[in-house]
């Protein structure tokens, strides 16, 4: 179990908090490119406890700026996009994508007052059909070129799952908890076999599991009694790379999380995706009824893998009470993640880059064991054109 102070260290994500400062060193998807059309060029974004507005001006520049105008606090979500930026609907104060104030229309002619005004703004980049933001200090790092995001021998699909009504770290601890697969997801683990024991599920299929540290996170390895090895990573600090894609757990604030799912669909050998092709946007499917309500008012679906995961994460509470938990030997991956989290918080406090930060814009594609996952977890093989294995 953790002390209250240790628990707070991991779960608080706002500005100035230890975990919040760590998390601000990384990039997060905040919207799909298709979600910022010409007729709706502004979008509210809440990320790491900050309320922001994503906008695309009439010159095609995309920015992320504080929601409340520095003048009198009106929301810039209702601002008018112009050639040079976004203009507050209240008094017309105009800001560019860097947060510089370019005009304060009601001030006297020749006034330089606008030069004293600066809105909080963050860089935005486009990758894999998503707009990404980094809320950390300059110079910001590169978005890592993970294979799922950049490989051109497959198409991509993207999905915002229903908002998770709990802290992101509950989902991440689940990503280093291999013991739950054969029990929580027993129907999936059964693979068509009858379920004789709903207590043990298919946990006896597993010979062993282990965890290996990599340059970018923790590799989870599960070895079955059949000799099959299932190996996929937690990409620190907020991504599960599993199956044919990645689940990016985007911390909204201390008690809410968006999950952006990006999936890779292999093409036939020799085929490549055009550079300008946007991913298919998959509609979200509710995981509980009613959405937005908490346990026990909400009733979670239990007929789908992701909804089962949502149930166990959310029913721990908005932030899990780790002061009363009873960890066992099967929880050693959870212990390892907490150790890695604490070490990287301390790195940032010393002024160092944390795990997985990439500074070289020309770095090679980062192999996250995707080909292995396509074969072992999904039953496809690279260059298959989406066909399942035949042997």
Domain coordinates in residue numbering, the chain: 31-134, 147-376
- pTM of the complete model: 0.95
Task: Kindly state the percentage of the chain with pLDDT values over 70.
Answer: 98
Q: Dump pLDDT digits (tens) for 343-353.
A: 999 999 999 99
Chain-centre distance for alpha carbon 276: 23
Mean pLDDT for the chain? 95
Q: How many CA atoms lie within 13 Å of 103's alpha carbon, on the beta-carbon side?
A: 14
Residues 6 or more apart whose Cβ sits within 8 Å of residue 101: 70, 93, 94, 95, 114, 115, 117, 118, 119
> Which long-range contacts (C-beta less than 8 Å, at least 24 apart) are formed by 284-288?
284/159, 284/160, 284/161, 284/162, 285/162, 286/162, 287/161, 287/162, 287/311, 288/162, 288/314
Look at residue 322 and tell me whether its pLDDT is greater than 90: yes
Q: Dump pLDDT digits (tens) for 167-213.
A: 999 999 999 999 999 999 998 888 889 999 999 999 999 999 999 99
Length of the chain in terms of residues written = 391
Look at residue 374 and tell me whether its pLDDT is greater than 60: yes
How large is the average pLDDT for residues 275-291? 95
Residue range 147-376 forms a domain whose CATH class is alpha beta
**What's domain 31-134's superfamily in CATH?**
Rieske [2Fe-2S] iron-sulphur domain (2.102.10.10)
Contact 66, 118 (CB under 8 A): no
Residue environment code for 171-203, b if the CB has 16+ CB neighbours within 10 A, otherwise e: bbbbbbbbbebbebbbbebeeeeeeeeeeebbb
Q: Dump pLDDT digits (tens) for 124-161.
A: 999 999 999 999 999 999 999 999 999 999 999 999 99
């Amino acid at each position: 179990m953790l002390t209250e102070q240790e628990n707070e260290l991991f779960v608080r994500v706002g500005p100035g908090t230890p975990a919040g400062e760590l998390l601000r060193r990384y990039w997060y998807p905040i919207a799909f490119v298709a979600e910022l059309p010409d007729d709706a060029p502004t979008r509210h974004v809440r990320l790491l406890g900050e309320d922001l507005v994503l906008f695309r001006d009439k010159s095609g520049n995309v920015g992320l700026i504080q929601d409340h105008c520095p003048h009198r606090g009106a929301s810039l979500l209702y601002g008018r996009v112009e050639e040079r930026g976004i203009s507050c609907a209240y008094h017309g104060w105009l800001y560019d994508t860097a947060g510089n104030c370019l005009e304060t229309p009601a001030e006297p002619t020749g006034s330089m007052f606008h030069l004293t005004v600066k809105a909080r703004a963050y860089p935005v980049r486009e990758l894999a059909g998503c707009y990404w933001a980094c809320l950390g200090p300059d110079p910001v790092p590169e978005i890592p070129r993970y294979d799922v995001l950049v490989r051109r021998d497959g198409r991509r699909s993207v999905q915002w799952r229903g908002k998770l009504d709990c802290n992101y770290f509950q989902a991440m601890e689940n990503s280093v908890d291999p013991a739950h697969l054969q029990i929580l997801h027993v129907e999936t683990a059964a693979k068509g076999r009858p379920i004789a024991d709903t207590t043990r599920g298919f946990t006896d299929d597993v010979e062993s599991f282990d965890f290996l540290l990599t340059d970018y996170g923790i590799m989870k390895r599960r070895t079955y009694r059949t000799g099959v090895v299932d190996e996929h990573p937690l990409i620190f600090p907020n991504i599960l790379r599993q199956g044919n894609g990645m689940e990016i757990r985007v911390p909204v604030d201390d008690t809410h999380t968006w999950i952006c799912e990006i999936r890779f669909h292999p093409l036939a050998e020799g085929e490549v995706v055009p550079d300008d092709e946007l991913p298919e946007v998959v509609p979200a499917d509710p995981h509980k009824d009613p959405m937005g309500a908490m346990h026990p008012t909400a009733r979670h679906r239990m007929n789908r893998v992701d909804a089962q995961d949502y149930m166990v994460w959310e029913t721990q509470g908005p932030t899990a009470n780790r002061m009363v938990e009873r960890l066992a030997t099967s929880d050693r991956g959870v212990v390892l993640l907490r150790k890695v989290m604490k070490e990287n918080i301390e790195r940032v406090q010393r002024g160092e880059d944390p795990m997985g930060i990439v500074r070289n814009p020309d770095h090679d594609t980062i192999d996250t064991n995707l080909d292995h996952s396509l074969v072992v977890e999904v039953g496809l093989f690279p260059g298959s054109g989406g066909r399942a294995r035949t042997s």
